[in-house]
C-alpha cells in the first residue's frame, strides 16, 4: 500500500491519530545486517506506519539496499519505502532498481538527487541519468504511472547548497528552494519528508510557507534524536542545520557524558514533537540511525508506544529498559525476584566467551573452545570404555553401574576424570539405582559444605573409599 494512502486513511479514521515511521540505513557488515533485522523486528512491533531504508551515498549500497528493502517488506512485513538517488545512476540502473522493488511488492520510493560522488563537491549528472530529484519523479510517473507512492525531500532551512557562510539562506534562495520543491510535488510526488532540524519554529514556518505557495501534500518532520555529541556536531555541520542557543547551552556541560547526552536527546526530541503535534501535524518521521533506544524513548514519552501492544501477560513486571522489553522468558525460580534477576543477568552478554549467550554478541566464542577440544587421549579412553557391544538394556545399566563404582574413568557426559571423591559416600546407592534402570548422570551427596578434597570427605568415613 502507498504510504500516502496509509497516512490519509489514518487521518480520515481519526484526525487526532498520530502516525510515525522509522528510517534505517544499510549496515556495513553482515552481522550488522542480521542485527538490524532483529532490531527492526522489535521496532516494527510498535506499529510504525512505514519504515524506510536509505540508498548509500553515490549508490554505494545499491544491491544491499534492494535486498534489505525486499526483506523489510516481505519478511519483517512492514510497509517499506526505499530511497533512490540519481548519483552514478544511468536510467537503466534506476529502472532495474524500480523494477526489482516492484517485483518484490514494494510500492514506495523516496526519490532523491543524492549528493555529489565522493571527492567531488558539485553534483554531476551522469550520462543517461537525471539532473535532479524532479526529473526522477517525472520519470517514475511517466514509466510506472500510479503504481508507486513517491516521496521527496524538503529542507526547512533550504538545501545546504543554498545556505551561505553566515549559516542562513537568503530570502531569495529560500523562496527558489520552495518553488523547486513545489515543482517536485507538481511532477508527481505525494509526500514530503524533511531534512533534520532542531529549531521547531523554523519547521513550522516552512510548513506554513509551503502552504502559501500551494503545496498541499503532507509534510512529515524528520526528527533526528541526539545520540552523541560529536555525531550531532558532525551531522548538523554537514547539513548546515541551525542549533538554537539553548541546545548548545544544555549540551555543553554534559557533552562528555554519553548517557546524559542521550537522555537530553530524548527529552529534546519529545519536546520538539509535542510542539509539532500541538500545531496539528500528526505525522512524525524518526531518523533512528539504526538505534532503537532514543527513537522509542521519544515515542514512549509521547504515549505513542504502548508496551501492551507487544506484550503477552507475564508473571512479572515487564522491564521498561528498552534493551530488555522483549524479554518474555525467565527461569521460574527468579521470576518473582526482579532485583536479583536483573542484577544477575544484566551483564550476561558480556561473558568473556559468551558460549551460552547471544551468538550475535562480539564476545561470543567459537565452538572450538569447548567439547570439540577434548584431549585426544581422553577420546581414546572414552571409546575403549563406552564403545562396547551393548546387547540388552541390562548391558547399559551395567555400564552406568561400573562408572558409579569408579571402575570406568570416563563418561560421555562429563569432562572429569572419574567421579568426584565425595561420590564414594553414595556409590552403593548409585549402584543399586542404576542396576534397577534409573540411570544417573549427576549426583551430589550431602557433605555439609565440605570441599571435595577435605579429609572428612576423602577418608574412609563410610568405608567406601577402596576404589582402584
CB of 90 to ligand FAD, least distance (A): 17
Total residues at the site for ligand FAD (CB under 6 A)?
24
- DSSP string across 157-195: T--GGGB-TTSSB-HHHHHHHHHHHHHHHHTT--EEEEE
Q: Which of 5, 23, 67, 172 is catalytic?
A: 23
Q: Does 79 bind ligand FAD (CB under 6 A)?
A: no
Contacts of ligand FAD in 116-155 (CB under 6 A): 132-133, 153, 155
Minimum separation from the CB atom of position 349 to ligand FAD (A): 31
Residue 221 DSSP class: E
Please state, in angstroms and rounded to a whole number, the distance separating the CA atoms of residues 310 and 44: 10
Residue 115 in the binding site for ligand FAD (CB under 6 A): yes
Cα gap 108→4, rounded to integer Å: 9
Cβ density class 221-251: b for 16+ within 10 Å, e for less: bbbbbbbebeebeebbeebbbbbeeebeebb
- Select 43 or 153, whichever has its Cβ closest to ligand FAD: 153
Is residue 72 involved in binding ligand FAD (CB under 6 A)?
no
55 sits near ligand FAD (criterion: CB under 6 A): yes
The C-alpha cell at 171 is 530570502
Residue 323 CB neighbour total at 10 angstroms? 11
CB of 206 to ligand FAD, least distance (A): 12
Among the listed residues 79, 157, 177, 422, the single contact to ligand FAD using CB under 6 A: 177
Catalytic residue check, 23: yes
Of 112, 185, 207, 322, the residue at the interface with ligand FAD (CB under 6 A) is 112
Considering only residues 46, 71, 83, 424, which one is a binding residue for ligand FAD as defined by CB under 6 A? 83
Task: Say if CB 37 and CB 77 are below 8 A apart.
Answer: no
Cβ within 8 Å of residue 313, ≥6 positions away: none
Report the distance separating Cα 316 and Cα 324, nearest Å.
13
Window 220-249: residues binding ligand FAD (CB under 6 A): 222
C-alpha cell at 192: 514530503
Q: Which stretch binds ligand FAD (CB under 6 A): 71-79, 108-116, 255-263, 332-340?
A: 108-116
Nearer to ligand FAD, 116 or 445 (CB): 116
Tell me the closest approach of the beta carbon of residue 227 to ligand FAD, in angstroms: 18
Report the C-alpha gap between 286 and 223 in whole angstroms. 5
Write out the catalytic residue numbers: 23
Tell me which residues touch ligand FAD (CB under 6 A): 54-55, 57, 83, 85, 110, 112-115, 132-133, 153, 155, 159, 161-162, 176-177, 180, 184, 193, 195, 222
Amino acid at each position: 500500500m502507498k504510504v500516502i494512502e496509509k497516512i490519509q486513511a489514518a487521518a480520515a479514521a481519526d484526525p487526532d491519530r498520530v502516525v510515525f515511521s522509522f528510517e534505517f540505513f544499510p549496515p556495513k557488515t553482515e552481522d550488522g545486517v542480521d542485527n538490524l533485522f532483529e532490531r527492526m523486528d522489535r521496532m516494527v512491533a510498535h506499529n510504525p506506519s512505514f519504515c524506510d531504508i536509505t540508498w548509500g551515498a553515490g549508490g554505494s549500497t545499491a544491491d544491499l539496499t534492494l535486498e534489505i528493502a525486499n526483506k523489510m517488506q516481505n519478511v519483517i512485513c512492514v510497509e517499506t519505502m526505499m530511497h533512490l538517488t540519481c548519483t552514478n545512476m544511468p536510467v537503466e540502473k534506476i529502472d532495474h532498481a524500480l523494477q526489482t522493488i516492484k517485483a518484490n511488492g514494494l510500492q514506495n520510493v523516496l526519490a532523491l538527487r543524492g549528493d555529489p560522488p565522493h571527492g567531488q563537491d558539485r553534483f554531476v549528472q551522469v550520462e543517461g541519468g537525471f539532473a535532479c530529484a524532479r526529473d526522477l519523479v517525472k520519470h517514475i510517473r511517466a514509466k510506472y504511472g500510479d503504481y508507486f507512492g513517491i516521496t521527496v525531500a524538503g529542507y526547512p532551512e533550504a538545501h545546504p547548497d543554498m545556505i551561505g557562510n553566515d549559516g542562513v539562506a537568503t530570502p531569495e534562495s529560500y523562496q527558489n528552494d520552495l518553488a523547486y520543491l513545489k515543482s517536485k510535488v507538481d511532477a508527481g510526488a505525494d509526500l514530503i519528508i524533511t531534512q533534520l532540524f532542531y529549531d521547531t519554529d523554523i519547521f513550522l514556518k516552512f510548513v506554513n510557507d509551503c502552504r502559501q505557495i500551494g503545496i498541499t501534500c503532507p509534510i512529515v518532520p524528520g526528527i533526528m534524536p541526539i545520540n552523541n555529541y560529536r555525531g550531532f556536531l558532525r551531522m548538523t555541520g554537514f547539513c548546515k542545520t541551525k542549533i538554537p542557543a539553548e541546545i548548545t547551552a544544555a549540551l555543553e556541560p554534559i557533552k562528555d557524558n554519553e548517557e546524559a547526552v542521550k537522555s537530553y536527546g530524548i527529552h529534546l526530541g519529545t519536546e520538539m514533537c509535542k510542539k509539532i503535534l500541538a500545531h496539528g501535524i500528526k505525522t512524525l518521521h524518526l531518523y533512528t540511525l539504526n538505534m532503537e533506544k532514543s527513537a522509542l524513548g521519544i515515542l514512549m514519552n509521547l504515549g505513542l508506544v504502548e508496551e501492551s501492544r507487544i506484550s503477552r501477560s507475564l508473571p512479572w513486571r515487564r522491564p521498561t529498559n528498552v534493551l530488555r522489553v522483549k524479554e518474555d522468558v525467565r527461569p521460574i525460580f527468579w521470576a518473582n525476584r526482579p532485583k536479583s534477576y536483573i542484577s544477575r543477568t544484566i551483564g550476561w552478554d558480556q561473558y568473556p566467551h559468551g558460549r551460552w549467550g547471544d551468538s550475535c554478541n562480539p564476545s561470543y566464542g567459537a565452538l572450538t573452545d569447548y567439547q570439540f577440544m577434548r584431549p585426544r587421549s581422553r577420546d581414546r579412553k572414552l571409546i575403549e570404555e563406552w564403545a562396547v557391544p551393548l546387547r540388552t538394556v541390562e548391558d547399559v545399566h551395567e555400564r552406568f553401574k561400573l562408572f558409579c563404582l569408579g571402575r570406568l574413568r570416563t563418561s560421555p557426559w562429563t569432562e572429569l576424570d572419574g567421579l568426584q571423591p565425595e561420590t564414594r559416600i553414595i556409590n552403593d546407592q548409585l549402584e543399586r539405582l542404576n542396576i534397577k534402570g534409573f540411570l544417573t548422570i549427576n549426583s551430589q551427596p550431602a557433605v555439609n559444605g565440605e570441599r571435595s578434597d577435605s579429609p572428612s570427605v576423602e577418608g574412609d568415613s563410610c568405608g567406601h573409599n577402596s576404589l582402584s
